[in-house]
Amino acid sequence: MRAQERSRSDNAPAKHMTATPADPTISLRATSIARGLIRTERAAGIIKAHQGMLRLECHGGGFYWISLDGARVLRGAKLFEADELQPKFANAMERAGH
């Protein structure tokens, strides 16, 4: 009986381990930029997480890509082909999204 109890305790998860969140944390700035793009009708109202970025369909074709911390805003059909937009544009979209 003791051997069985010991083997059960060996297989139990450690109490000191921390769980990682299933969803990545999205900053207030990134959320505000996304809302600003939608409010100004530059992007459709569907926001998807894709490859560690927020992706919004652009009404002019392609997508807007927003980093989860809101530091980068890109536009293009594919993330690896997208061009980074000016910081002033991102700032204006953040203000429009508040």
Predicted confidence (pLDDT) at residue 8 exceeds the cutoff of 70: no
Count CB atoms within 10 A of the CB of residue 92. Answer: 14
Per-residue pLDDT tens digits for 22-75: 667 999 999 999 999 999 999 998 899 988 899 999 998 999 999 999 999 999
DSSP string, 3-29: HHHHHHHHHSPPTTPPPPPSSPP--HH
CA separation (Å) from 48 to 24, 66, 96?
A: 12, 10, 20
Task: Please give the residue range of the domain that contains residue 42.
Answer: 22-97
pTM of the complete model: 0.75
Q: Is residue 64 part of a domain?
A: yes
Q: Is residue 56 part of a domain?
A: yes
Q: Is residue 12 part of a domain?
A: no
- Count of structural domains within the chain: 1
Q: Is residue 15 part of a domain?
A: no
CATH number at residue 27: 3.10.450
